[in-house]
Structure 1
Amino acid sequence: MTKLSPESKIAVIGLGYVGLPLAVQLAKHFDTIGIDVNAARVAALKGGHDSTGEVADGPLQASKLAYSESMSDAADADILIVTVPTPVDAANQPDLGPVRGATRALAGVLDDRKVRTIVYESTVYPGVTEEICGPLIEDVSGLKQGTHFFLGYSPERINPGDKVHTVDKIMKVVSGENAEIGNMLCEMYGQVTSGGTFLAASIKAAEAAKVIENAQRDINIAFMNEIAVIFQKMDLSVHDVLDAAGTKWNFLKFSPGLVGGHCIGVDPYYLSYKAQQLGHLPRVILAGRSINDGMGAFVADRVHDHLLKAGNVLVLGLTFKEGVPDLRNSKVVDVIDRLKWLGHNVTVHDPLADPAEAEEEYGLTLDSGALDGRKYDAVVMAVAHDEYVNLDDAKLNDLVKPGGLLADIKGAWRERDIQGDFRRWQL
């Protein structure tokens, strides 16, 4: 059985928003190597820069973390931690391709010379670690679970762009296939975070805890989006209503908007998939997803209704949330697609997003000069990046044609008495 010591070697497989911050923290205490199949990503990290912005250049350059594109460099690791994405496919079914691929790759470098612990952090539905990953490792490696290797699960809780709830400060849920593995992983993660660890009753319990954390947020936001739609029909701003309701001590303060990203917009589908496998139709979960998935079209339709005819529309922001360059599962794309379908000419601007990634993922061209000297029939603030929140009245007047529309999806300008020859709309 894997024993933790200062000489333990750890491999983190997948160096994205989750894996890199974890690997950097682990490298402070253990011999740690980060593995990623993306050669450009590895080269950038070796050069001391993280394009996701999750780890600043200074700490990254000072880290003892080693990097590699080859899984063979993880062959001598005592603990292997898998932090690859878990997306959904076009039918909103779980896509376990990245998890299966990483599992096959790591299993291919294992041997019986040492006992290892394989830990998954990727968000999955309950049962994936033990019912899919464990047997897959056995099939590929020829080794036996419980003898040559052991399984653990510790759900990631990274919130992209959040500089407060970082991996070194949050409580870490940990689980193992037996008590010894669970306690060993608590000891390891306990050296990473000051927030402490919680040993879950089982691997399945830890998997389930993670998936319901995000499903709960999704459902709460869906309620806000539904009441926003209702209040629009009453010519009420949902933000004005929430300001009043929020004065009650037990009112839950969630905000309406576009719900995308790699967690909240995806994880409920993992839970609903498993529920339906078990013969249960998860009505609340799917209803919440349906409402949130429809908000992009709703916003576009309201903009169109205000304009009455097709025009030139500037969409500010493409990433899935403010302050981050992450484009995964951005629901701003739904707004753009609907506006185009309605006949509008759409220009997209985002100061943080990678233009090449926007083109590759969505076929969209980011216009870096969109704020310079052009006027639009409508300007839609879709993502509340600081650059947009801080635009002054004069600049906003320069962007909107006389009689045009200033649409503030996020409500970021609602407290400002912006003067200009344009109409204003918000949820």
Structure 2
Amino acid sequence: MTPTISDTENRMDERTHGRQVVDQTESGTTLEHVEDDQRTREATICVVGLGYVGLPLAVGFAQSNYQVIGYDVDETTVERLQDGEDTTGDLSDAAVQNDDISYTTNATAISDAEYVVIAVPTPIRDDDRPDLSFVESAGTTVGSKMSAGTTVILESTVYPGSTREVLVPKLEDASGMTAGEDFFVGYSPERATPGDEEHGLSDVVKVVSGQTEAVLDDVADLYESVVDAGVHRAPSIEVAEASKVVENTQRDLNIAFVNELSVALEHMDVDTQDVLDAAGTKWNFHDYQPGLVGGHCIPVDPYFLSYRSEQEGFDPELMQTGRKVNEAMPGHVADLTIKALNQCHKTLRDSRVLVLGLSYKPGVGDLRSSKVSKVVDTLNEYDIHLEGFDPIANPDAATETFDLEVQENLSFEDFDAIVLATPHDEFTQIDPEAVASELADDPALIDVSGAIDEDEAVDAGFTYRRV
């Protein structure tokens, strides 16, 4: 049954909607700003999606004395959280055991929240088009359960226009209510950085937006209460949506430049890092390093921006070229490995190569979207015997994800080469001389990010290559 205005009025009498109150008029429900921090803290917030974005957000709100409902469709994730286990590896077991958070797979709990924050994945399809199916599904679920007067805030990465064009219709269809009259919508792009303790939720300025100035004020007040760094009020939802994909597209393009530079300099027999060190002495030179570009943001977000741009009739060639360059880097790393083995007079099909670091970035165990897998796939084409090791990632998950044997305990014995793909701290502290003594004669070290000192590696007897 569609809620009536009187239904909404009665509900708001029972509990005040945080810093906002509902004014019932003939045209429906409107939002007025209320400067009262204590009343906001009494609001209940439901976070939909308890991954690397949603869970820290739920914990952050709970630590700021909000009542929080953590909702996810994954029963295993919820059960682990109910047992007090941090499922992201970025928080702590103690943090997720906050008494102000309840974890559930029961969507009915959404109806108890004044604010619903949606933080579900937005991957790309095999054809590089955005996949917003999780946002659509969340919109249907939230819409079917939310109460009148609720404010829904999307945090998932999307292309400009998605909140109004994709999420809002799902919310309206499932609820029978009208956005801007019976419920309210905002957008605040996530800026989560897994494995980075210095840039957590409270430490990074939060971009916020709302469908009206009153909603923007309310959403800004909500996030200001948990983000010490403050908020930036975007003038529209579309600006906030675009800002997220632009942040990572900019990084993708800059990394693509130094990646292409590294390949060009490799052909010239000029050391890339030496060039960057020299160029970096100029005051306005930007420091970017070549390497593999994996993860859930940098290699994904440019596709969102390109997709939307193409819909409007403009083909963004530079963005697309940058993506092609970075997607080619795993092949370049594999090529460096083959050249190093040849230089060491190794027969490829008789060679044994150990890949150190399988996750997409140092300090995290997330194997999804790791470009190391493409390095492995290319080397497998040459019948090279490959093994891998990652001190953080789950060995069973790594074995399932990568087409190679994964060591549970690190052993260098009798390998012909090491590919240091992801420089976890455990690897940057290794002694090249001690490692070389365990390897086969004339070993090679392919150090993707330059984590090991080249002179020390060469002195230890390695044939050394880096991107």
TM-score (norm 2): 0.88
Tell me, in whole angstroms, the C-alpha distance in 1 between the residues paired with 2:404 and 2:235. 46
The alpha-carbon deviation at position 359 of structure 1 amounts to: 4.1
Of the candidates 344, 350, 368, which is equivalent to residue 384 of structure 2? 344
Of the candidates 355, 363, 380, which is equivalent to residue 315 of structure 1? 355
The answer to whether the Cα contact below 8 Å between 2:154 and 2:188 also exists between their aligned partners in 1 is: yes
> Any residues of structure 2 matched to 1:7-46 within 5 Å, and which?
7-27=42-62, 28-46=64-82
Instruction: State the one-letter code of the partner of 1:95.
Output: D
The answer to whether the Cα contact below 8 Å between 2:294 and 2:369 also exists between their aligned partners in 1 is: yes
Tell me, in whole angstroms, the C-alpha distance in 2 between the residues paired with 1:395 and 1:91. 46
Instruction: State the one-letter code of the partner of 1:392.
Output: D
> Any residues of structure 2 matched to 1:150-169 within 5 Å, and which?
150-169=184-203
Tell me, in whole angstroms, the C-alpha distance in 1 between the residues paired with 2:270 and 2:85. 46
Q: Against the structure 1 CA distance between its residues 384 and 206, is the aligned structure 2 distance closer, same or farther, given a 3 Å change threshold?
A: same
Instruction: State the one-letter code of the partner of 1:327.
Output: L
Corresponding residue of 2:35: none
Corresponding residue of 1:52: 88
Tell me, in whole angstroms, the C-alpha distance in 2 between the residues paired with 1:60 and 1:406. 41
Tell me, in whole angstroms, the C-alpha distance in 2 between the residues paired with 1:340 and 1:260. 20
The answer to whether the Cα contact below 8 Å between 2:136 and 2:167 also exists between their aligned partners in 1 is: yes
**Is 1:384 aligned with 2:423?**
yes
Give SS of 1:233's match.
helix
Corresponding residue of 1:426: 466
Tell me, in whole angstroms, the C-alpha distance in 1 between the residues paired with 2:419 and 2:167. 44
Deviates more, 1:317-326 or 1:372-381: 372-381
Corresponding residue of 1:253: 287
* Unaligned stretches of 5+ residues in structure 1: none
Of the candidates 366, 390, 393, which is equivalent to residue 406 of structure 2? 366
Tell me, in whole angstroms, the C-alpha distance in 2 between the residues paired with 1:195 and 1:108. 35
User: Identity over the aligned pairs, expressed in percent?
Assistant: 42
Instruction: State the one-letter code of the partner of 2:131.
Output: D
Q: Against the structure 1 CA distance between its residues 398 and 71, is the aligned structure 2 distance closer, same or farther, given a 3 Å change threshold?
A: farther
Of the candidates 133, 137, 152, which is equivalent to residue 101 of structure 1? 137
Q: Against the structure 1 CA distance between its residues 194 and 379, is the aligned structure 2 distance closer, same or farther, given a 3 Å change threshold?
A: same
Tell me, in whole angstroms, the C-alpha distance in 2 between the residues paired with 1:362 and 1:279. 39
**Is 1:136 aligned with 2:176?**
no
* Unaligned stretches of 5+ residues in structure 2: 1-7, 9-16, 20-39
When Rg is computed on C-alpha atoms for both structures, the one with the higher figure is 2
Of the candidates 253, 274, 293, which is equivalent to residue 327 of structure 2? 293
Tell me, in whole angstroms, the C-alpha distance in 1 between the residues paired with 2:185 and 2:400. 36
Give SS of 2:456's match.
coil
How many equivalent residue pairs? Answer: 424
Instruction: State the one-letter code of the partner of 1:131.
Output: E
TM-score (norm 1): 0.95
Of the candidates 440, 444, 447, which is equivalent to residue 408 of structure 1? 447
Corresponding residue of 2:337: 303
Of the candidates 334, 359, 379, which is equivalent to residue 374 of structure 2? 334
The alpha-carbon deviation at position 52 of structure 1 amounts to: 2.1
Of the candidates 106, 119, 124, which is equivalent to residue 88 of structure 1? 124
Tell me, in whole angstroms, the C-alpha distance in 1 between the residues paired with 2:149 and 2:402. 44
Q: Against the structure 1 CA distance between its residues 35 and 360, is the aligned structure 2 distance closer, same or farther, given a 3 Å change threshold?
A: farther
Q: Deviations over 1:285-319 (max 9, x none)?
A: 00100000000011101211221341211111111
Q: Against the structure 1 CA distance between its residues 355 and 72, is the aligned structure 2 distance closer, same or farther, given a 3 Å change threshold?
A: farther
Q: Against the structure 1 CA distance between its residues 365 and 134, is the aligned structure 2 distance closer, same or farther, given a 3 Å change threshold?
A: farther
